[in-house]
Amino acid sequence: MNYAGQLTRRDMLSAIKSEVSKGDKGEEVSSQVLLNMFANENDPFASQDLNTSGKELEDKTFLADVQWFKDLFLETENMSKAYVANPTEAADGVAGRIERGTSGKFILVNEKGWEYTQFIEKGLMGAVFLHQIYNTYLTDNRIGNDVENTDMVEGKNYTPLEHHWDEAFGYYGAPADFPRDDDDKYWAKYAGPALGTTPEQLDIYGALEDAFITGRAAIAAGDMAIKNEQRDALYKQLELAAAAASLHYINNAKADLSANDMGSLFHHLSEAYNFTMALKYHPQKKISQNDIDAILNTDYGTDGDFWTVSVTSLNDAMAKLIAAYPELDNVKDIL
Amino acid sequence: MKYSQYIFIIILSGILNACDNSGGEVVNFDRQAMLTNYAENIIVPGYQVYQQEVANLETVVNTFTSTPDADNLNAVREVFKDTYLSWQRVSFYEFGPAMDQLLRTSTNSFPADFISIDNNIASGDYNLESLSNNDAKGLPAIDYLLYGIAEGEIAIVNEYVNSENSRQYLIDVIADMKARIDAVVTEWTSGEYSEDFISRDGTDVGSGLSMLVNTYNQHFERFTRDAKIGIPLGIRSSGIPIPNNVEALYSGISLQLTLANVRAIYQMYWGQSPVLSQDGIGIHDYLEALDVQFNGSTLSEEIDQRYSAAIDLLETIPPPLQTAVTDHQTAVEAAYNALQVLVVLNKVDAASAMGVTITYADNDGD
């Protein structure tokens, strides 16, 4: 199996996250550095391997969202510089830093309470990783029945079809042995270890594990029917993971509201926001775009202003998600 | 035990509660009867008393804002204290309808952010539903508005004579409180949340018992032990007291409120209704039925003694609390430690004995 390109891009996202989180620490963040990392220009990474990899995140990002992320990079720089010049505590309509509970951990948020570290990391997880799985690697172009599956890729021991399947797996984030632990990164983490449910209660991670493995074996055996079934399972379960992660963070947010912990509230809502937004990348998503927009622009606060959320509005968001993903109904309060 | 004058009604029904999937022992105990007692005799009546007090407060505030004078101010202050006390008796049921209304956060986030209150009044432009106004409204705000907005009674009355914005702010704060408690009571009664709560008679997450145990433990830990006593004492500030963080800073009734809160939680533990003057099935009875042992006695006996001890120690602190945290630290520390012992007994020993998982944790995970 070879998914080096995907691993490289995962490392690039980690590097971007580290740079952005300097803002949370009260330091200045450079949008130029972020833009360079995004496009892999001007040797922006500490790792020479990344710099010379010939890979980048920008050209794999959902095209309509590229400018959104570049704007986030610039706003992060502006906010971080404003903070350094005049350290401010975040307030309604005022960007600044805010503590998560009494943990000693601070986050930098904009005037709506948006934590850009989460908006950028979780946002790119959707706009790059999930988008590529859905709209490149699992499409007929890459793993359709007609894709070459007999001759090996030159110099390798896998066929193009096998390789594309592996690349989809590479964007998922699990190690090849599906350990269900800290080594599960990105979507693999949110399909399993990060959720509040046990595998007995909900096992998206297990379903994805089965689909990836069974599909891979089917491809090796030349069984296109089973491969297509597993492909369908991957589409379905990855979508469910985004919905489940949204519900998980909504539950966290409700607890934060009850505890009057605004910092944790903004951190968790920032995650919920981006997991919900990621639902849009699925080419046949079960939830309507209208509902996604309503959740983002009303339920998560008026115009997405986290200072205006309420338990009622979050319950409305949950209701929309459960209506689209009824499989999650019986675990919605434990996620 | 001080409550022997109450009629002692215990119904040990013949309904066998066989092995719960949560691992409780096989006991003769009717959890549903316990939940029924809680919902119908303790929680709903408690909310209704508080609701009535808020309605009374609205009435006297209307009189005061129409005719601001010393007599009317005092009338408001009296009802305010009763309202604050009745709140202490229901503040820990932060689940279901209360959670939906963010009742505790909206009603009692202290210390009051007097800077925001002053700014809101000055501009006349505010949205009390915004989360940023959590500590600029509710009972702590009223505490400030009635006792702290100016120096001395005459100046306070004058504030309301002269400033329409101040009068309006007082009215708006109470309207927010009233809307929320009305919604909570409606949900419990005609909204049938009572039936829903009673029907969830397991011990799993989402059961009535689990919600009750989790919320009163979280409340006791973060609000009773920490917010009311520990934080003003200096527990979170390397031992340096923060007197201005006490509850009811301006009216000075902090200790009365804390005592009312602890007593109410103690009564809830016994299954006694503070409103209806009757005893019923409570957590105490469940622990007795489970026959949980603790250090040569029963856990229920131990918890009983610890509540009494904590209440005694709170009563020996010379009021007001904002002075006691600097001038009588030993007494306040003793009370704090007594509360801490109860936190452990309830959160660790009692919860696990009942098969209830404590699900709240200090937020740290990503």
The residues, any chain, with a CB within 8 Å of residue A149's CB and separated by 6 or more, are: A159, A160, A161, A162, A219, A222
CB contact under 8 Å between B131 and A307, yes or no, is yes
Alpha-carbon distance of A43 to A32, in angstroms, equals: 12
Residue carrying the six token digits 């986050």: A107
Tens digits of residue pLDDT in A105-146: 999 999 999 999 999 999 999 999 999 999 999 999 999 999
What is the value of pTM for the model shown? 0.86
Q: How confident is the prediction along chain A (335 residues), in pLDDT tens digits per residue?
A: 889 999 999 999 999 999 999 999 999 999 999 999 999 999 999 999 999 999 999 999 999 999 999 999 999 999 999 999 999 999 999 999 999 988 889 999 999 999 999 999 999 999 999 999 999 999 999 999 999 999 999 999 999 999 999 999 999 999 999 999 999 999 999 999 999 899 999 999 999 999 999 999 999 999 999 999 999 999 999 999 999 999 999 999 999 999 889 999 999 999 999 999 999 999 999 999 999 999 999 999 999 999 999 999 999 999 999 999 999 999 998 89
Cβ-count burial A17-36 (b if 16+ within 10 Å, e if not): eebbbbbbeeeebbbebbbb
From A52's Cα to the closest Cα of chain B, the distance in A is 32
CB contact under 8 Å between A308 and B101, yes or no, is no
Alpha-carbon distance of B320 to B329, in angstroms, equals: 12
Could you tell me which of B265, B344, B273 has the C-alpha nearest to residue B311?
B265
CB contact under 8 Å between B102 and A261, yes or no, is no
Report the phi/psi class of residue A105: left, alpha or beta, with left for phi > 0 and alpha for psi in -120 to 50: beta
Contact residues, chain A, for B100 at CB < 8 Å = 311-312, 315
CB contact under 8 Å between A333 and B129, yes or no, is no
Q: Tell me the longest C-alpha to C-alpha distance in chain B.
A: 67
Q: What is the CA angle A316-A321-A326, rounded to 5?
A: 120
Alpha-carbon distance of B229 to B242, in angstroms, equals: 10
Tens digits of residue pLDDT in A67-94: 999 999 999 999 999 999 999 999 999 9
ipTM computed for the complex = 0.76
Instruction: Name the residue among A264, A310, A311 with its Cβ closest to that of B363.
Output: A264
Contact residues, chain A, for B236 at CB < 8 Å = 102
From B222's Cα to the closest Cα of chain A, the distance in A is 9
Note every long-range contact of B167-173, with CB atoms under 8 Å and residues 24 or more positions apart, other chains counting.
B167/B65, B167/B68, B168/B124, B169/B117, B169/B120, B169/B121, B169/B126, B169/B145, B170/B61, B170/B64, B170/B65, B170/B142, B170/B145, B171/B61, B171/B62, B171/B65, B172/B128, B173/B128, B173/B137, B173/B138, B173/B141, B173/B142, B173/B145
Instruction: Name the residue among B101, B105, B132 with its Cβ closest to that of A91.
Output: B132
Given this model, what pLDDT does residue B362 score?
Answer: 59
From B130's Cα to the closest Cα of chain A, the distance in A is 5
Given this model, what pLDDT does residue A244 score?
Answer: 98
Contact B365, A193 (CB under 8 A): no
Instruction: Name the residue among A100, A194, A311 with its Cβ closest to that of B102.
Output: A311
- For chain A, domain boundaries: 4-116
Could you tell me which of B255, B249, B261 has the C-alpha nearest to residue B146?
B249
Residue A299, Cβ density class (10 Å: 0-12 exposed, 13-18 middle, ≥19 buried)? buried
- Cβ–Cβ contact B105 with A under 8 A: yes
Residue carrying the six token digits 């989402």: B206
> What is the torsion angle, in degrees rounded to the nearest 10, for the CA atoms of residue A300, residue A305, residue A307 and residue A311?
-10
Tens digits of residue pLDDT in B190-210: 999 999 999 999 999 889 999
Residue B26's pLDDT band (cuts 50, 70, 90) = low
Could you tell me which of B221, B95, B39 has the C-alpha nearest to residue A333?
B95
